[in-house]
Amino acid sequence: MNEFFVTAIEENNEYLCHYTDEDHCQFTYVYYYDIERKLHIRAQEERTCPPEVFVLGIVFGVIAAIVLIGMAILLLWKLLTTIHDRREFAKFEKERMMAKWDTGENPIYKQATSTFKNPTYAGKG
């Protein structure tokens, strides 16, 4: 994964070079040839490395965010259903108080009555 880039700079025929190693660190230097065809190099003292990424922190952060969003959605759902249920119960209580029939007896219910007439019984007795 070593990469090497050369960029020509017009002043004094200098060439700017970037080298990236396997650690993704970058090292920069400039070289040029003088009139006597001698090679001159100006190099960077230390290589420049990108900051390390704390992958475990990112993973735990994403998991925590998903759990918290899920909990917030569940709490919101619970709140909305509680409000809805209380409204429905208040409506039911209001209708029960406004009932026109006796609340101790169901107006639809009819008492079971049975009458038998025995044709062979003459009523002696």
Tokens of 107: 């107006």
pLDDT at 68 over 90: yes
Is the Cα dihedral 71, 72, 78, 79 positive or negative? Answer: positive
pLDDT at 9 over 60: no
Q: Domain check: are 36 and 9 in the same one?
A: yes
20 phi, psi to nearest 5 deg: -115, 125
Q: What is the pTM of this model?
A: 0.47
Q: Max alpha carbon distance in the chain (Å)?
A: 154
More confidently predicted of 58 and 24: 58
Residue range of the domain that includes 23:
3-43
Over residues 29-44, the pLDDT tens digits come to: 888 888 888 888 888 8
- Provide the domain count of the chain: 2
Q: Domain check: are 62 and 36 in the same one?
A: no
In whole angstroms, give the CA distance from residue 48 to residue 28: 9
**Cβ 66 vs Cβ 43: under 8 Å:** no
In whole angstroms, give the CA distance from residue 30 to residue 42: 5
